[in-house]
Chain A
């Protein structure tokens, strides 16, 4: 029996008893509702022209975040408040402070990207009274503008931040009412169109059961990759089971962090800042803000990509993953999850439920990546380093790379070259020279094999330089401000 999808679209409650799993939110609002302020620029979550805000209940609290509507599946909006540019206005019905600032600072030229920028800026403005330039740039990593060169947009975001007015904003004024309306919606949805079916399980146990019944179903978490299977490759995904709202639990024990597979990058960032501050900047280079608000840690693993950015870091940290099938669970080292390109250790009906990350203790850790563009670009090479030094000797080294092989993989020769050796520049130089033994990377549009090899070797040199308290900076300072 159909359990309809329900959500709020601006002020209107939407009830859909029929929908396909591959229907996108963007097509629904543009074609179905003729809300044309939200634009399609790329249909792959990389340009931000379709940015809108989605509010969802998280631990009873209503949280609004900008996301890309082009790769957000309609079914996954169940229980959410979808807010489009058409909803944005000032308390008096005029231009919202962000819109006014964009006009005043000449922040639009052709205007096509503008609604998406305004909505991303809105997301920032909701949570930051007086954002810094770096916070603005970080919030706008997922928005492309080809006309302005961004300067007036950043100025507008600064001005809107100073203008304030958050307390009077409609989304804050109506917070209790919207919370009540969303809370009243059923926890579960299950809809079809023709033969196609989309299921939103009520909870993780329900998910386990649904996957027992549909072991070959497409599991869709943040859809930042599955979205492209549909929009780019026209792949069928039915039946699809949507899990982005599940497995949000975070537990910090004495020796580990237990992260639910559904925790998004954005939800993960504060934990990283607390427990692994050395790699916070690495996490903030993954995708744009919209992607980090949707994409999940579990999805980045389960997806099995050789260029996913979490696995190299998590493998280096010694993370393990809990896989669940029905009522039974097993825990494996994360590196063992990746068998070969396109093949993971996951049985039909099984799903990634939890990631267990040991705390770093006394270990020295680092994560590096290179890409053509610093931000919101998939890495050509990514690496995680975890090195334990006792006295002057390297007691243990775990190093993993992405982009260097068909799967994210440890650099065993390098680890052997480091382990038990003195903690010196020479040791790391020796390790750097093992890269060609550990890896034979490919050449493609992201980088040549030569560059990948050279950079991977240099990461060892960088790690040493960073740990050896060099007087000269060894990393680019991307932050603004003198």
Chain B
């Protein structure tokens, strides 16, 4: 496939610039919120959690809590000066302190004490009596007992799916149970609130969405937003788990701080963090696919039932995105898919890398598997036969116009030697035995933009000081993804100076207001363009100043390696800045960016929700022990599209990390609730994310260096945070193939996710028990 020629200025900064905090990370000098020097007399808050899944609080006896050593105060719903609500979508369904408990582990009060240990010990002393109410835990139970939704579902429809399914030469109906996932950011939730004068309060926290925290705190305190400042230097991981979940912690800390006029820190332990904060949505999906004898899809119909938990949080957008990705990379000529964001008495599920997309993509891949097993074909052949061609419409009526998967898959297929290795796998399995192998090559197409169009805006602030040093601030938050490093590179490149001249400072609502969450993989796309806009404003002023000062034309002026050239004269950058200052040129600018072209009408299910698509593919080979269900990933090869990479080292790191995290979602990471609605996998002792020894034994990760974003994104790069997460599906499907080998691939293995060793062994035994 050929691309239109697009002229792109080469990046001047060292492309593989290390993470801006790398040296601080490795020396332990990078400060996270819990490491900050706190004001004298800082108090500590701790949450008291409910012990029933659904119930009215009949009485709450906190006398023992108050009497415990070091305790200053307890806070309940009655102590909230403003609104008892942290709903991010203005539903007022997400209280800070519940009065009617809606899940096991819901915060109902907070203790304030001199030390964290005292607060934590005291919180355990509460005596709460409940009038217990009936509860539902899983989405099917919720559907069958009234089907209350946290927000309205969505339907995407194109063509005539009923007729096409009825007329299809072949049809398969199936159900897929897809587990959720805990974020397991290494740094947990944390808030430090420092009271100021009048209504003011300053928050230091670890959120992906400082602006939302600002509004939530203002709302809870009953003060205007201009009284609240929220600061985030860095997060110890976010992955979506700190998009809305930090709101509650910040509000509690702020309420206590204002009440006592002392700084207050709130850091739950890992167990409470995992119990009381939302996760990736689990889904049950019922699907129907019509196809012809060659394996070409003619129609798809499906229902996505999501366990949303007790409140809306971001569930509507998450379940929407599941439908937006229910096609993955495949054209469905006739389609109707429906989302059901069901209310359950579990923690309110939230954003997590991919934001519902993975739970759409994996169903598309299951559909491909179904067809492949039914028609006796290689799954890859079925994939290729059904890939979108440019101009074809998605179920939401956006044409696909930047499809590069044919080239990308062909390149990966060659570089990983797919055909020969697949044959070797089949030959190995044909000999029988305990250890079976599987291989799968799966693609991803992922839509980039917030589907709520108004979030697709960003701001940045660039100052140049008179010594020529540059200070940069933007609305995005650093959570390890290298956003700050990339934006520093953008600014350094804009002025053609070294990255060491540019200092990025903590994200703060004081410098850039009204920001969107650092989410949807959009951080660099949005903030990079905003920062570039700020740089361009200053550059334009410098050029204008130099034109006057040197009697030159704009085209005679160029920014070159730490200098500015005016005709033949090379002036050091700092010298230009100094003289511009003396000439009273403004050396500071606020930049802004709004993504063009996008629009979306949810009611009609039509529009262009995505600015562009990012693509990738992975081939995974596994060995499965059919006596225990355990497995190892023998090899994985990844080819991923990030457009023109701003920093290939950082992008590769994102791809590798996403692959392993996606693999964890589908293998060892299992959330397990007991019959009372208690989450029993709430710490790393019981919730198992991948280790170094779980990564592929051979792991070849490459960026598709020939890809260029067709849209005018920052340096023609593409978003990278979420799309490669779904490449872990290749491992899941490879495990399925190994399982299916025990019945000579006569049947689709239909593994549910996660494919824990238990799931795998039970699937082996289920297939072997077939007559």
Q: A residues touching B (Cβ–Cβ < 8 Å)?
A: 27, 36-44, 46-47, 49, 84-86, 88, 95, 98-99, 102-104, 106-115, 118, 136-138, 140-141, 143-154, 228, 231-232, 234, 370-378, 380, 444-448, 450-451, 454-455, 458-459, 461-462, 465, 470, 472-478, 480
Contacts and interface: CB of A to CB of B under 8 A. Distances in A.
B19 interface: yes
A98 B19 CA distance: 16
A474 B660 CA distance: 26
Contacts of B433: 470, 472-474
B28 A37 contact: yes
B235 A110 contact: yes
B270 A41 contact: yes
Given A42-B683, A110-B237, A473-B434, A103 B26 contact: yes
Interface in B234-254: 234-239
B676 interface: no
Interface of B: 16, 18-19, 21-32, 34-35, 117, 120-121, 124, 183-188, 234-239, 269-271, 431-435, 479-482, 623, 625, 627-632, 649-650, 652-653, 656-661, 668, 670, 672, 674, 680-681, 683-686, 688-695, 697-699, 701, 756-758, 761-762, 765
Nearest to A472: B433
B119 to A, nearest CB: 12
B371 to A, nearest CB: 30
10 A-B pairs with the lowest CB-CB distances in the bound complex, closest first:
A37-B28, A110-B480, A112-B236, A111-B25, A149-B660, A109-B480, A85-B28, A46-B684, A472-B433, A108-B25
A99 B480 contact: no
Please classify the interface of chain A as helix (H, G, I), strand (E, B), loop, or mixed, using the class held by over half of its residues.
loop
Contacts of B188: 41
Contacts of A36: 28, 31, 34-35
A154 B186 contact: no
Contact of B186 (A110, A136, A149, A378): A110
A146 B184 contact: yes
21 contacts: A37-B28, A37-B29, A39-B186, A44-B683, A85-B27, A99-B27, A106-B16, A110-B186, A111-B21, A115-B27, A138-B693, A150-B692, A231-B269, A234-B124, A370-B630, A374-B630, A465-B434, A472-B433, A474-B627, A476-B435, A476-B623
Q: Which of B183, B652, B674, B695 counts the most A-chain CB atoms under 10 A from its CB? A: B695
A143 B695 CA distance: 14
A110 B271 contact: no
Contacts of B631: 476
B121 A234 contact: yes
A462 B16 CA distance: 49
A46 B685 CA distance: 6
Nearest to B270: A42
Contact of A88 (B27, B184, B652): B27
A373 B690 contact: yes
B229 to A, nearest CB: 23
A32 to B, nearest CB: 12
A104 to B, nearest CB: 8
Please classify the interface of chain B as helix (H, G, I), strand (E, B), loop, or mixed, using the class held by over half of its residues.
loop
Given A41-B187, A152-B656, A472-B431, A106 B27 contact: no
B455 to A, nearest CB: 23
Nearest to A110: B480
Contacts of B693: 137-138, 140-141, 374-375, 478
Contact of A451 (B185, B649, B691, B762): B762
Q: Which of B25, B120, B480, B656 counts the most A-chain CB atoms under 10 A from its CB? A: B25
A228 to B, nearest CB: 8
Given A47-B684, A112-B32, A147 B657 contact: yes
Contacts of B692: 136-137, 140-141, 143, 145, 150, 153-154
A377 B28 contact: no
Nearest to A24: B117
Contact of A106 (B18, B234, B695): B18
Nearest to B688: A373
A75 B699 CA distance: 44
A454 B757 contact: no
A113 to B, nearest CB: 5
Contacts of A371: 688, 757
Contact of B688 (A98, A115, A372, A470): A372
Q: Which of B24, B29, B35, B630 counts the most A-chain CB atoms under 10 A from its CB? A: B630
B23 A95 contact: yes
B691 A150 contact: yes
B417 to A, nearest CB: 13
A148 B670 contact: no
A84 B29 CA distance: 12
Contacts of B691: 137, 140-141, 143-144, 150, 373-376
A445 B680 contact: yes
Given A102-B26, A109-B481, A151-B701, A370 B683 contact: no
A458 B690 CA distance: 25
A106 B16 CA distance: 9
Contacts of A151: 656, 695, 699, 701
Q: Which of B238, B625, B652, B765 counts the most A-chain CB atoms under 10 A from its CB? A: B625
A212 B101 CA distance: 50
A468 to B, nearest CB: 12
Nearest to A482: B698
Q: Which of B124, B236, B689 counts the most A-chain CB atoms under 10 A from its CB? A: B236
